[in-house]
A and B are shown apart, each in its own frame.
Chain A
Amino acid sequence: MPGYQWDFGKAFLHPDLWLTALTVTLGYAAATIFCGLIIGVIAGMLLLSRHWFVRVPVSGFVQVFRCTPLLIQIIWFYYALPVAIQVTIPAWLAAGMGLTFYMGAFSAEIFRGGIMSIDKGQWQAAKAIGMLPSQVMRRVVLPQATRRMIPPFVNQSVLQLKNTSLLSIVAVPDLMYTAQVFVSETFRPLEVYTSLGVIYLIILYPLQKLAKRLERRDDV
């Protein structure tokens, strides 16, 4: 665009609002990652069950959330769920539910895959010295599997933080939503969205670096 006068000052007229928005984004990211991980570990363990009537419904849950767009999940929990179950859910909670279950579904597969990736010989050797299945899990399988799960969990968390930008669709005042407000106020979309991108980059680059380092570390 020849002759366009960049003015990044316009993007930062309200640094305090940027900061508030950043808090909202980080808060949603942290909370949905944390709750999603808990759901993921539980669902992941259920996926490893010997009983099909445990595995099948959990697998159904995981597939639904893995195979539908997150945007639809957020909208559905925000607008459809309260209607469907005739219960008023606070808006902030409804907005986070889609993200939480989304994280949970992906974490479940990471957890299940991590456990499955441990050689059957490890189970046999541990059982052969007289360990109970729970002891095999705690002493032999989980310590090895956890190391393998950490890099994909960090990667999923990076995606999760970016995905919080979809919350703007249900008027959660996160970074994305706030940026949209600034754009309508200043008519400076180029500066505002560029700045927004840089903010995400500054937060996520170190996380991504960490994930890379964890991937390289293979003491096992």
Chain B
Amino acid sequence: MTSEREAPMVEIDRLCKSYGKLAAVKDVTLTVQRGEAHFIIGPSGCGKSTLLRCVNLLEEPTGGRMRVGKIAMQFDGRRLPMSAREQAQYRARVGMVFQQFHLFPHMTALENVMEGPRTVKRIPYAEARTIAEGLLKKVGLAEKCAAYPKHLSGGQAQRVAIARALAMSPEVVLFDEVTSALDPELVGEVLAVIRQLTEEGMTMIVVTHEMAFAREVANSVTFMDAGMVVEQGPAAAVLGNVTNPRLEQFLRRFRA
């Protein structure tokens, strides 16, 4: 293997995000290897979603360093020295799926998935359509191409949102509590799609409260509390033999 392939896909080094005096993310360091599913768990308000949004620059980190693929950046609390265009080009390589789906309501499922390839990548219509149809088929929604988001169930909408993120062929996909807004009976179909992606070797960072799912598919895990990393390592080690009292307390609620 060449060193190029061995280099981690995502390296986050002492990343900080504070709002005025309130520190939401404090000195978080984490590394995600290529093809790895890295899960971030922790109580509500522990900063895990903020961290994820920082990785996509939807929030501007206030300190630390970050590298995704070939793009590295450093934050010092001043204005990010990246133009709007550079930020957009960066985001195009980092997919993101949101808790509330955020599908474009004035576009069909197919148009939602085609939008990135068409508008951002300027791919010709026919080719973009082929990509989008393939992805909707992959998430099990081939028959919903012409449906508008308001006619989709939550589970279907979230699968379209995943297809929309994948359509940009991202280097890493960020999942931000993607099943938290779903009815319980719809959670499974979305997790099945994510599970399939991990099997295909998609690099991803997953913020979730689905502990059983994390045990099943996570390669590595970060447990955060109060904006800081408390435990980190291979999934089996972090979730298997729990010694940290805070993690133990957190996990106990899911066993109840």
Contact (Cβ within 8 A) A131 B95: no
Total A-B contacts with CB atoms under 8 angstroms apart:
71
Whether the Cβ atoms of B91 and A130 lie closer than 8 Å is: yes
CA separation between A129 and B163, bound complex, in Å? Answer: 11
Query: Within the assembled complex, what's the spacing in Å between the Cα atoms of A133 and B116?
Result: 14
Q: Is B168 part of the binding interface, using a Cβ–Cβ cutoff of 8 Å?
A: yes
Q: Tell me if B7 counts as interface (CB < 8 A to partner A).
A: no
B: number of interface residues (CB 8 Å): 30
Which B-chain residue is minimally distant from A132 (CB atoms)?
A: B88
Binds A, one of B39-47, B103-111, B215-223, B233-241: B103-111
Q: A162 in the interface, Cβ–Cβ < 8 Å?
A: no
Binds B, one of A7-15, A85-93, A138-146: A138-146
A135-B119, A139-B115 given as contacts; is B165 within 8 A of A129 (CB)?
Answer: yes
A127 touches B88 (CB 8 A): yes
User: Quick one: which of B89, B91, B93, B103 has the most chain A CB within 10 A?
Assistant: B91
Question: Quick check: B106 and A131 within 8 Å, CB to CB?
Answer: no
Least CB distance from B229 to A in Å reads 24
Check if B100 sits within 8 Å of A129, measured CB to CB.
Answer: no
> Do residues A144 and B88 form an inter-chain contact, with CB atoms below 8 A?
no
Any B CB within 8 A of the CB of A121: yes
Name the interface residues of A117-132: CB closer than 8 Å to any CB of B: 119, 121-122, 124-132
Query: Would you call A135 and B120 a contact (CB within 8 A)?
Result: yes
* Chain A residues with CB under 8 A of B89: 130
Give chain B residues whose Cβ lies under 8 Å from the Cβ of A140.
104
Chain B 63-121 residues near chain A, CB threshold 8 A: 84-85, 88-89, 91-96, 98, 100, 102-106, 115-116, 119-120
A128: shortest Cβ distance to chain B, in Å?
Answer: 4
Chain A interface residue count, Cβ-Cβ cutoff 8 angstroms: 21
Complex contact B104–A122 (CB within 8 A): yes
CA distance A220 to B108 in the complex (A): 11
Give complex CA distance A125, B58 in Å: 10
Chain B residues lying within 8 Å of A133, measured Cβ to Cβ, are 84
* Interface residues as binary, B162-176 with A (CB distance below 8 Å gives 1, 0 otherwise): 001101100000000
Contact B56–A130 (Cβ < 8 Å) = no
- Asked whether A131 and B119 contact (CB < 8 A) given A121-B100, A144-B105, the answer is yes
Contact mask for chain B residues 147-159; partner A; CB cutoff 8 A; 1 contact, 0 none: 0101000000000
* A residues less than 8 Å from B104 (CB atoms): 122, 125-126, 140, 144
Q: Please, how many angstroms separate the alpha-carbon atoms of A139 and B120 in the complex?
A: 11
CB distance from B108 to the nearest CB of A (A): 12
Cross-interface CB contact of B56 among A128, A131, A143, cutoff 8 Å:
A128
CB distance from B93 to the nearest CB of A (A): 8
> Contact between A220 and B106 (Cβ–Cβ < 8 Å)?
yes
CB-CB under 8 A for A220 and B92, given A132-B85, A133-B84:
no
Q: How near does chain B come to A143, taking the closest CB pair, in angstroms?
A: 5
**List of A residues within 8 angstroms of B148 by Cβ:** 219
Q: Which residues of A contact B85 (CB under 8 A)?
A: 132
- Nearest-neighbour CB distance to chain A for B140, whole angstroms, equals 21
**Smallest CB separation, B45 vs chain A (Å):** 19
Asked whether, in the complex, the Cβ of B105 is within 8 Å of the Cβ of A129, the reply is no
User: What are 8 A-B pairs with beta-carbon distances under 8 A?
Assistant: A125-B102, A125-B103, A125-B161, A128-B91, A128-B95, A131-B120, A132-B84, A144-B105
Excluding A129-B164, A130-B91, A139-B115, 9 further A-B contacts by CB distance (< 8 Å) are: A121-B100, A125-B96, A125-B98, A125-B104, A129-B91, A129-B95, A129-B116, A129-B120, A147-B106
